[in-house]
Structure 1
Amino acid sequence: MAEARYDRTGRTYTATRRPDARIAARLRAALGPARSVLNVGAGTGSYEPPGTVLAVEPSAVMIAQRPPGAAPAVRGVAEALPLPDDSVDAALAVLTVHHWADAAAGLAELRRVARDRVVVLTWDHTVTADFWLLRDYLPAAAATDAALAVPTAAVAERLGAAVHPVPVPWDCADGFACAFWRRPEAYLDPLVRAGASMFSLTPEAELRTGLDRLAADLADGSWHRRNADLLDRTELDLGYRLLIAELRAG
């Protein structure tokens, strides 16, 4: 499933999905002293720490966009990781669990191959659903998001993980779905939308009316008046969550 999605929608990732240094710092802190890391659902290599010994990614399109010098990558899926038990210090999965065919099996695999910890970045749809773009303009994308989402509480329970909010900075460099919360004009750009699953997997016809309304509201100032409380914010909690499972402690 993930392979087919990203072969279709992942072609623009290197243009719009550059890692944000602040989010990268949170991930590095979560990985702690891990010296060997497996990156699962690794995509183009964003947020891949220097200690990565292997990247697992189902899509050839995504692997082809990995930069020179990135960790070795193999085509594979989270549900059947090509490593023996306890073979790496940490397993990392960044905004990928929602694309796995069997999330429970994939999470069990992360715990199987990691000795010390598992780190997962995901999102809580119950929070994201109230994002102004989905709530006020793109209900069809909200429905796509709901269908994609894996409940954060269920992921945390299966991993035995602590859950930490990851606020989105207003000038986030990584163009994931909610990154442009204070830069609404960006959502009118097809290239930006192509880099986020909830938009790229929603038929354009189902987005068109809402996007046209957003354009009109930006032109006449309605959006800025309605969302004035956001304009001075430097970060916002939009549901992104960092899950950290300490396996030795558990």
Structure 2
Amino acid sequence: MNALYDSIGIDYSNLRKADPRIAAHIRNAIGDVASVLNVGAGTGSYEPGDLEVTALEPSAQMISQRPADAAQAVQGSAENIPFADDSFDAALAILTVHHWADAAKGLAEMRRVARKKIVILAFDPGFRENWLLDYWPQLAALDDAQMPPMDFYSGILGPVQISPLPVPHDCSDGFLYAYWRRPQAYLDPRLRKGSSSFWKIDGVDDGLARLERDLASGEWQKRYGDLLGQEQRDMGYRLLVADLA
């Protein structure tokens, strides 16, 4: 995955801008701590600016795009976190666990270095209420293959509180299902580049052709027009919080 993001990560910071509403949910989940390790930190989205943050990221391309005022970044992987036991109050992982070579080992490492809390934003692969699957059904198979199920986390971290993270209709972060009310966005190759999933599945062009046709004919609006009146929606993203103290 390091190699993938070294290839597709160019312009990633412009495509994946932290949404302030999602950031507020994450900051609230982190709670009252002083130090945080952000594992799989990427370009630094959702790192709380009021805390002492250390970033851990395997991709040099991602590290190079971190803002000048971002937290100090160390190049390294989740599976081998280069810090001593109990080095941080909390460990954070945002939409990254599915990219790890060994999720179980990475989660165990997070638990090793965190004293009080672990906060993870992940996708529930069992979630299927998503119109994109009608155009790219292969996304469901990809999610099943790379996304750990929700009960996987508690098996390693202990008791985990899981809550839905609603996605605003105008979300500024370009993750895969962020454009649920803006279907035209998926026709833009630059915006699709912000999601690794489109690099991993076959048949992308077939789905694009059907989506473009359905938008032009009004079929998409006929089938999914009720979404256009919704301000936010559960798209399967989950906040997982493990209290360790």
TM-score under structure 2 normalisation?
0.96
Q: Contact 1:172/1:179 (CA < 8 Å) preserved in 2?
A: yes
1:1-250 to 2 correspondence within 5 Å? 2-50=1-49, 51-127=51-127, 129-134=128-133, 136-160=134-158, 161-203=160-202, 206-248=203-245
The residue type equivalent to 1:105 in the other structure is K
- For the residues of structure 1 that align with 2:194 and 2:52, how far apart are their CA atoms? 24
Unaligned runs of 5+ in 2: none
- For the residues of structure 2 that align with 1:70 and 1:197, how far apart are their CA atoms? 23
Q: 1:227: Cα distance to partner?
A: 0.5
Q: 1:6: Cα distance to partner?
A: 1.0
Q: 1:9: Cα distance to partner?
A: 2.1
- For the residues of structure 2 that align with 1:52 and 1:46, how far apart are their CA atoms? 15
Q: Contact 1:89/1:117 (CA < 8 Å) preserved in 2?
A: yes
Q: Contact 2:47/2:53 (CA < 8 Å) preserved in 1?
A: no
- Counterparts in 2 of 1:48 and 1:197: CA distance versus 1, 3 Å: same
The residue type equivalent to 1:159 in the other structure is L
Q: Contact 1:156/1:243 (CA < 8 Å) preserved in 2?
A: no
The residue type equivalent to 2:138 in the other structure is A
- For the residues of structure 2 that align with 1:10 and 1:122, how far apart are their CA atoms? 20
Say how many residue pairs are matched: 243
- For the residues of structure 1 that align with 2:197 and 2:153, how far apart are their CA atoms? 20
Q: C-alpha deviations, 1:59-116, integer Å up to 9, x for none?
A: 0011011001111111100111111111111000000000111111110111111111
Q: Contact 1:95/1:121 (CA < 8 Å) preserved in 2?
A: yes
Between 192-201 and 113-122, report the one with greater CA deviation: 192-201
- For the residues of structure 2 that align with 1:25 and 1:186, how far apart are their CA atoms? 25
Q: 1:25: Cα distance to partner?
A: 0.3
Q: Contact 1:142/1:198 (CA < 8 Å) preserved in 2?
A: no
Unaligned runs of 5+ in 1: none
Q: 1:52: Cα distance to partner?
A: 3.7
- For the residues of structure 1 that align with 2:59 and 2:121, how far apart are their CA atoms? 19
Q: Contact 1:140/1:207 (CA < 8 Å) preserved in 2?
A: no
The residue type equivalent to 1:92 in the other structure is L
Q: C-alpha deviations, 1:207-234, integer Å up to 9, x for none?
A: 1111011001111111011002211111
The residue type equivalent to 1:130 in the other structure is E
The residue type equivalent to 2:182 in the other structure is R
